[in-house]
Structure 1
């Protein structure tokens, strides 16, 4: 095979020779990124050489020898444009990078329907005969929806991995993103002296929102504080909705000194609402976001945010799926925790300023 400019395409033997290992070792790693038969240093070196040589596995040859299609589908139970979300886009970048290196193609079946399980059922009908699935949890999924979606895929009998969901049971392959105790934005704000904190949540029935509010209440209790319902807002992970929710809340007055937003996108909406009401950040109120989106450091002031290893999560999702396809293993759980990046949107709150 030749490249577009007429040069011979690099082979797996070329990669192996450059790395200094056998072609079998390279093949084992490309089929299963989590294998222990290839050491971590060799794995890193293989990835580097693949990039240097622009190596692309021969998908047709792999499919003929294995009886597989070398294609997986990403199922996003959301009847809308999924790539609009920077969070989803970054996870998918990690997924695609890892799968592409292993000779796999990725499909995105179209959505149709309203309820999450209905959308998923349509997507499954349009993506038969594939080697595996990646199942996203979205803001439109309740916890029960996610359980039903996982059960639907289990019944299909095809390897899959769930991401951006709560724990779905011991038998489900999952990559779970958690904020982590050390990264807790709420704890940080309390340690900075804030005592009246608002939370800009997503949707009221989404597991992400429910978990965050539960965490908020638990940490508040450690400081002898019982939050009331007026401190919980819902911004639907959208700029316009979070702006509107904050403006409605401000109509009652500014009686809080900090806001934690469950996404950097909602933090933009909060910034806009504060700007309209001449409320300055962080002089009058501190703001923290989540995800460390590319634009968070460009905001004015730069946003303090919880960095979550989103690209890495996508890569781990792909590796877990490849392992499950290769070995049939189930119940793999990978938990990735975040870290707090303190920028200029937060400040220490003195007691006399509460």
Structure 2
């Protein structure tokens, strides 16, 4: 296995000079850097990453912290970030919080011990109290994805979730539906709050009253949306349409309706937010409001790389992406 001594000999420089050129730990001319890099390529020298991390105070490691890696939406995020890291010479460490703050904090402590170069976080909560707790755990360039946290001074890449809620609800109202149920998210997560706001704004714009009994808890979980949809549809006046604020809640809704032997969209229309890679083989293929997931993830990692390489401070800028309505077969006119 090639060593730094072999690199120095090949390049015709001192070992200390070769080390400085590789690690950028001391001033070295561009000519010498070129010679050393050519030697590295020629003999196949691989720097010891752990040793470099200790010397430089950080690694070539990017931490990606997601709510649930089994969710297709977040799996797509991970795929984009991993590819971008590999191309840039970084490794991605991907962890799921399972929406649990204590687990999120544990992951952040571990990332700090590993001297990560930067973080992309989809946070477990959005409130200021949570921001105050996280502030002491984050000490590297960080970008928040999908949501923001009050009190954290980081750049944010997110969907226009109010508009997403409006798009879905406007579509159902345009089909003649007036009893539209909605599966809500979890407390203190602004993503669900904004989507619910869009639902309410769409009703208000047309002067259509909202029945509070049609707002059922989903908590972004398939199982919770499933159980509460069963209860909802057994009531004397069930809705004619259901709007799920996330893809996993939509699966829960559809499973519940199947168990009740209710036809979609014959008996009830269903629409959700976030698309599925396998949507076209579902029965029926679901109508959704989709986020440009790959573009959002790519923007987040590019923003993070910029802060790392330029040693720049976050601007607290919010990059907001436009949702898209994808009409398929799970909704009908009444």
**Where does residue 126 of structure 1 map in the other structure?**
110
Residue of 209, 212, 228 corresponding to 1:226: 209
What displacement does 1:278 show? 2.7
- Is the Cα contact below 8 Å between 1:72 and 1:133 reproduced in 2? yes
Residue of 319, 323, 327 corresponding to 1:334: 319
Q: Distance in 2 between matches of 1:238 and 1:59?
A: 44
TM-score calculated relative to the size of structure 1? 0.71
Q: Distance in 1 between matches of 2:210 and 2:162?
A: 21
Q: Distance in 2 between matches of 1:110 and 1:299?
A: 27
**Where does residue 255 of structure 2 map in the other structure?**
272
**Where does residue 195 of structure 1 map in the other structure?**
178
- The unaligned stretches of length 5 or more in structure 1 are 2-57, 350-354
Higher relative contact order (CA 8 A, sep 6+): 1
TM-score calculated relative to the size of structure 2? 0.75
Q: Which has the larger radius of gyration?
A: 2
Residues 210-229 of structure 1: CA deviation (Å, up to 9, x unaligned): 22222211221111123132
Q: How well do the aligned residues superpose, as a CA RMSD in angstroms? A: 3.0
**3-state SS of 2:157 partner:** strand
Q: Distance in 2 between matches of 1:298 and 1:101?
A: 33
Q: Distance in 2 between matches of 1:160 and 1:59?
A: 28
- The unaligned stretches of length 5 or more in structure 2 are 2-44
Q: Distance in 2 between matches of 1:217 and 1:200?
A: 13
Q: Distance in 2 between matches of 1:89 and 1:64?
A: 30
- Is the Cα contact below 8 Å between 1:94 and 1:313 reproduced in 2? no
Residues 219-261 of structure 1: CA deviation (Å, up to 9, x unaligned): 2111112313211112233332211110111221343211111
Aligned CA distance change for structure 1 residues 185 and 276 (closer, same or farther; 3 Å) = same
Q: Distance in 2 between matches of 1:201 and 1:347?
A: 22
How many pairs were matched up? 284
- Is the Cα contact below 8 Å between 2:132 and 2:152 reproduced in 1? no
**3-state SS of 2:120 partner:** strand
Q: Distance in 1 between matches of 2:46 and 2:217?
A: 45
**Where does residue 15 of structure 2 map in the other structure?**
none
Q: Distance in 1 between matches of 2:193 and 2:96?
A: 28
- Is the Cα contact below 8 Å between 2:225 and 2:253 reproduced in 1? yes
Q: Distance in 2 between matches of 1:342 and 1:104?
A: 39
* In the alignment, structure 1 residue 311 sits paired with structure 2 residue 294: yes
Aligned CA distance change for structure 1 residues 308 and 109 (closer, same or farther; 3 Å) = closer
* In the alignment, structure 1 residue 104 sits paired with structure 2 residue 99: no
Residues 14-33 of structure 1: CA deviation (Å, up to 9, x unaligned): xxxxxxxxxxxxxxxxxxxx
- Is the Cα contact below 8 Å between 1:260 and 1:289 reproduced in 2? yes
